[in-house]
Amino acid sequence: MYEWAKAFHLISMTAWFAALFYLPRLFVYHAMAEDSISIERFKIMQRKLYRGIANPSMIATLGFGIWLLSLAPDYYLKQDWFIAKIAVVLAVVGYHYSCSVHLNRFATDSNQKSHRYFRIFNEVPVLFLTGIVILVVVKPF
């Protein structure tokens, strides 16, 4: 049972991060777009990616993570690396919802951020993923 939970957790986490890598890249292109056809196309792409992939993948990742935790709570809740991982996961959830804020601003044509801002914003999930992988694989503490 543990292997199934872990496999589904990793699959959903991969889909979630794929969405978190791609959505801000769409924000970069959207912020640079000047013609109405491109702007409307980016709105559709962003909405479908966020609602159709990012949200379900986040929910699945968290659900499978809770399932994994429920299989050995006494072990996980006493591990410092796990507590740190939960903190990073909460930061990823915050980032996920900040993407929603940006998406809604683009949808209402009220975005004030530049493509340069979104180029930096786009790199943040890499830092989160790096931290999570190191905490889970290396268990530095």
The predicted model scores a pTM of 0.95
SS3 72: coil
Taken in order 35, 36, 37, 40, is the CA torsion positive or negative?
positive
Residue 24's domain comprises: 2-137
Task: Give the closest residue to 109 by CA, choosing from 48, 36, 50.
Answer: 36
- 89: tokens are 């996961």
- Give residue 115's pLDDT: 98
How many independent structural domains does the chain possess? 1
Closest Cα to residue 27, out of 111, 93, 110, 97?
A: 111
Give the pLDDT confidence of 71-125 residue by residue, as tens digits: 999 999 999 999 999 999 999 999 999 999 999 999 999 999 999 999 999 999 9
Q: Is the sign of the CA dihedral 52, 55, 61, 63 positive or negative?
A: negative
The answer, yes or no, to whether residue 1 has pLDDT greater than 90, is no
Of residues 52, 67, 50, the one with CA closest to residue 10: 67
Asked if residue 60 lies in contact with residue 12, where contact means CB atoms within 8 angstroms, the answer is: yes
**Model pLDDT for residues 20-68, shown as the tens digit of each residue:** 999 999 999 999 999 999 999 999 999 999 999 999 999 999 999 999 9
